[in-house]
Amino acid sequence: MSMSPPDALNYERFQQLQMRLDMSRGKPAPEQLDLSRALLDDAAAAGFRARDGFDCRNYGLLLGLPEARELGGELLGVPPAQVVAAGNSSLELMHDALAFALLHGVPQGESGERSAPWRAQGDIAFLCPAPGYDRHFAICEALGVRMIAVPMRADGPDMDVVEALVREDASIKGMWCMPLYSNPTGAIYADDVVRRLASMPAAAPDFRLFWDDAYRFHHLTDTAHATLDVIAASAAAGQADRVLMFASLSKVTIAGGALAWFAASPRNVAWWQRCTSVRTIGPDKLNQLRHVRYVRDRATLDALMARHRALLAPKFAAVDEVFRRRLGQASGVRWNEPEGGYFISLYGPDGTARRTVELAGEAGLVLTPAGAAFPYGVDPLDSHLRIAPSFPSLDEVRLAAEGIAVSLLRVLETDQALAT
Amino acid sequence: MSMSPPDALNYERFQQLQMRLDMSRGKPAPEQLDLSRALLDDAAAAGFRARDGFDCRNYGLLLGLPEARELGGELLGVPPAQVVAAGNSSLELMHDALAFALLHGVPQGESGERSAPWRAQGDIAFLCPAPGYDRHFAICEALGVRMIAVPMRADGPDMDVVEALVREDASIKGMWCMPLYSNPTGAIYADDVVRRLASMPAAAPDFRLFWDDAYRFHHLTDTAHATLDVIAASAAAGQADRVLMFASLSKVTIAGGALAWFAASPRNVAWWQRCTSVRTIGPDKLNQLRHVRYVRDRATLDALMARHRALLAPKFAAVDEVFRRRLGQASGVRWNEPEGGYFISLYGPDGTARRTVELAGEAGLVLTPAGAAFPYGVDPLDSHLRIAPSFPSLDEVRLAAEGIAVSLLRVLETDQALAT
């Protein structure tokens, strides 16, 4: 079967192709994973001795290998003592941070005393800029934390709304933030947004920003955007303990086998250490050592990310090209051109997203469920679709974009026919 | 400095040696880690393709690589579908199982409905056979679970005490068990003990055995002891969901970088999957693949464990030889000769353990803190010492055993002088 889109593809022809493609998740393509082949090939050469001779095979180093914490510090712009190098998943760290807060409370005030366990403080809530990352919302839902959606804009969450809520409502204990190339809208938090988040008064004295810097290195254009240093900004605003930062190398080296970092104030790191010291005798330091010797520094990482971009940018461009051609004239349809990250957000007229996903699914193309980017999986306008073009081949992406377009167009035609 | 013990070493001479040795933890020696050098050397050859072609570098397989679950099934005697292959630490799995139970409840009854979150059920407690594993107790203490010590005997916990408590007290939600070569007494649970644990009536309908099979493969004699299959026994007794089993390869291959397993009933595994699906996108499957290709099967593992035994057994024998020579005539002093595992328990007369650890520490020998093997770190008799001979060299172990003996003898002399 040729993967080139047939001329004048319509929904019926698309359906006949039965392409059997899953575009629901932001997974790196095999070609991207191949970029770090040396990580596997040179594993033996990396050995097991840390810089200071420590035997990385044995137990110990709860907060991670010192050189892995230093690499994290360099990449995140945080002093290494405030960085924890952990396992293969930043999502785990976010889940555990919330679980620890529920079970143990978090540091509060200059003394570092813990607040009451969040679980014991009655109904608690998180602010959720929406559209946002479905796995953030799934953590809140599973752990019984009420979610309050706040509008997401191109420069970050609507800060007037955020400030008003956080100032008034002491049940709001935290907020999810993806500052750069936010999943799935590609939003880039403006400096002023970061400053306001770092300094806004909060009714809850133990309020926390869960700062998921997942796409910090993942540029798709020549402009390497960077957001304001939120840990420094919060410290400068007298809110040193406000930020819990998370990041990983999952979409830099090996998606399922990289390393993740937690970064925060010294008091938060001490809290993390106390909470995790009963849980583990240390992370996989051999994998940390391999990564330190492979990724090395910011310049090496940037060169690697340029190779990722060379594979990813054409896929994003292909989606944009198809959407312009097929959907450019469609009333009420828009999408973004992200400058980084892993997703494109496509918006149809209200009430069209769910049916578009259904139609695509019936033709063999699995999209992220409509509503997934909203708390409780409910998009109040039923308008938003998350497109994840990273994993399929370029030809598949092009055909999938055609398929999404004809599925949405079919929904629009149906509605128009009913209206006339 | 010669490591051979001087003739007639007394406490003063031992103190002058200032040996600076840490015997507080059960860490494998570098020579043991060297046994699995091929795991690192052949990492590149192991590649990234699973048996079915799955790309282990990418996200996915929440419950672990199928062949890693199968290996766990073979080694633990459990169907692979009831085995989860996870990260580098079974301690993490135990902590998370208790945290999930506190936050979400556990399956209860045939329907698999969850019980109320343990945290919401008021004061809850765990039975803790003592002496036991200090890290088990640390998890309970950190998570606010009350600990009830029950006597440990050579064939397992005192079942009359256990049955009476569990039958009467609905606040008792769980019990720590290390069935084989129990840490630190070397106890081996008798078949009848396992049967009684599996079948005893429990006041709490969501009661769980936290079954830490840490030393399942770690024999020190020609007799490869095995305990009764507790998952099968509990299913046969109509208590299919009673057992949560944990194990790892940490003391088989690489202490800080192996893989851990969780095994339980299908309902418990489904519960684990729901709880962890919001936490992670899967374990490090590359490390699982490397382990599957290195450990392969039970026969390969047994051959590897024989090499561990060849390194470990002389250290245990050296401690025993020194203790016989130095402490054999000391009134009220006894110790065990474990047939497997990582520890020797030494008992002095009541009120001597803490001072013995102090005296050893003043001479540069760090022992596990007295009381560590008891809930809340309190040995009511102040009698028990945990000896961990695995990590130091054989010469160091011999000298350390002399040092422990002369420290304890000094305490006994002091007490005798005061008494006369």
DSSP B49: B
What is the pLDDT confidence band of residue A7, given thresholds at 50, 70 and 90? low
Residues of A in contact with B285 (CB under 8 A): 256-257
Q: Which residue of B has its CA nearest to A138?
A: B278
Pick from A278, A100, A65, A95: which is nearest to B92 by CA? A278
Check CB contact of B119 with chain A, cutoff 8 Å.
Answer: yes
Contact B55 A43 (CB under 8 A): no
∠B388-B393-B396 over CA atoms, to 5°?
80
Tens of pLDDT, residue by residue over B115-125, are 999 999 999 99
Contact B88 A142 (CB under 8 A): no
Residue A2 confidence (pLDDT) above 50: no
Q: Which residue of A has its CA nearest to B45?
A: A41
Contact indicator for B151, B157 with CB cutoff of 8 Å: yes
Pick from A135, A95, A28: which is nearest to A262 by CA? A95
* A311 min Cα distance to partner chain B (Å): 16
CB atoms within 10 A of CB A420: 5
Domain positions in chain B: 11-26+301-415, 43-295
**For an interface test with B, which of A40, A252, A294 has the most B Cβ atoms less than 10 Å from its Cβ?**
A40
Q: Residue A112: its pLDDT value, please?
A: 77
Residues with Cβ < 8 Å from B116, sequence gap 6 or more? B105
What is the pLDDT confidence band of residue A5, given thresholds at 50, 70 and 90? low
| For residues B14-31, average pLDDT | 93
DSSP A227: -
| For residues B398-407, average pLDDT | 97
What is the pLDDT confidence band of residue B8, given thresholds at 50, 70 and 90? confident
Look at the block and give the residue holding tokens 């003043």: B362
Tens of pLDDT, residue by residue over A220-262, are 999 999 999 999 999 999 999 999 999 999 999 999 999 999 9
Q: Residue B6: its pLDDT value, please?
A: 52
In chain B, % of residues over pLDDT 70: 98
**With the CA atoms of A126, A338, A340 and A186 taken in that order, what torsion angle do they form, in degrees rounded to the nearest 10?**
-10
* B391 min Cα distance to partner chain A (Å): 10
Contact A281 B138 (CB under 8 A): no
Name the residue among A135, A141, A256 with its Cβ closest to that of B282.
A256
Contact B254 A95 (CB under 8 A): no
Tens of pLDDT, residue by residue over A333-354, are 999 999 999 999 999 999 999 9
ipTM: 0.96
Long-range contacts of residues A115-120, Cβ cutoff 8 Å, at least 24 apart:
A115/A205, A115/A206, A118/A145, A118/A173, A118/A206, A119/B103, A119/B119
State how far the Cα of A28 lies from the Cα of A249, in Å rounded to an integer. Answer: 12
Average pLDDT, chain B: 96
Q: Residue B2: its pLDDT value, please?
A: 43
Contact A58 B256 (CB under 8 A): yes
The DSSP element (H or E) to which A69 belongs, if any, is helix A66-76
Residue A71 confidence (pLDDT) above 80: yes
Tens of pLDDT, residue by residue over A289-321, are 999 999 999 999 999 999 999 999 999 999 999
Look at the block and give the residue holding tokens 């299919």: B240
Domain A11-26+301-419 homologous superfamily, CATH: Aspartate Aminotransferase, domain 1 (3.90.1150.10)
The DSSP element (H or E) to which B150 belongs, if any, is strand B146-153
β partners of residue B208: B174
State how far the Cα of A20 lies from the Cα of A364, in Å rounded to an integer. Answer: 4
Contact indicator for A388, A368 with CB cutoff of 8 Å: yes
Contact B30 A287 (CB under 8 A): no
pTM of this prediction? 0.97
Residues of A in contact with B25 (CB under 8 A): 59
Q: Which residue of A has its CA nearest to B276?
A: A92
Taking domain B11-26+301-415, whether its CATH number is 3.30.1050.10 is answered by no
Q: Residue B382: its pLDDT value, please?
A: 98
Residues of A in contact with B29 (CB under 8 A): none
Size of the A and B interface in Cβ pairs below 8 Å: 153
Look at the block and give the residue holding tokens 């028990």: B384
Tens of pLDDT, residue by residue over B109-149, are 888 799 999 999 999 999 999 999 999 999 999 999 999 99
Q: What is the CATH number of domain A46-296?
A: 3.40.640.10
| For residues A141-170, average pLDDT | 98
* B103 min Cα distance to partner chain A (Å): 7
**For an interface test with B, which of A41, A94, A284, A288 has the most B Cβ atoms less than 10 Å from its Cβ?**
A284
Residues of B in contact with A279 (CB under 8 A): 91-92, 95-96, 139
Q: Residue A108: its pLDDT value, please?
A: 95
Going from the C-alpha of B96 to that of each of A103, A262, B93, the distances in angstroms are 12, 19, 5
Contact indicator for B258, A56 with CB cutoff of 8 Å: no
Contact indicator for A385, A353 with CB cutoff of 8 Å: yes
Contact indicator for B367, B23 with CB cutoff of 8 Å: yes
| For residues B33-53, average pLDDT | 95
Tens of pLDDT, residue by residue over A37-59, are 999 999 899 999 999 999 999 99
Residue B1 confidence (pLDDT) above 50: no
State how far the Cα of B34 lies from the Cα of B231, in Å rounded to an integer. Answer: 34
Overall CATH class of domain B43-295: alpha beta
Residue B155 confidence (pLDDT) above 90: yes
Lowest-confidence region among A69-78, A405-414, B37-46, B310-319: B37-46
| For residues A78-89, average pLDDT | 98
